Amino acid sequence: MFYHKLFMSCALLSLAQLSYAQTGKLENGCRIKVRSDAVVILVCPENASAEVWRAAGEAACGPKLLCNAWVWDDNAKAPDTAPVTDADLPKKAAAQAVAIWVNDSKSLVTLTKAVLSK
């Protein structure tokens, strides 16, 4: 009986881990390029809306609270590896992101490029 309960516990834990998207396409045209435990690299269509970014980030993170999904609209600008933390994202790549989904606060941060005048 003990082994049966242990097996069932392990199976349920495995299902919980698989409940959020690992990599690949999401329903809204976005795709998970790569992920680490806490950072997801998403690539969405070029003219996707903030609502699409939000839905993609939420789907990519699932129930995992400590998860930030960074969104790019150009695959070439998105990093090929997901860092352990947001602070480890290459600065050039971070500057080219269009949004960040912050799962623990259920917030979408949209990023805009600053234009400096001379």
Cβ 40 vs Cβ 32: under 8 Å? yes
Q: Which residues pair with 41 in a beta bridge?
A: 34, 70
Tokens 């998105």 -> residue: 78
How do residues 38-77 score in pLDDT, each as one tens digit? 999 999 999 999 999 999 999 999 999 999 999 999 999 9
Query: ∠ CA 41-107-27 to the nearest 5 degrees?
Result: 50
Q: What is the pTM of this model?
A: 0.77
Q: Is it the case that residue 24 has pLDDT exceeding 80? A: no
DSSP 8-state assignment for residue 25: E
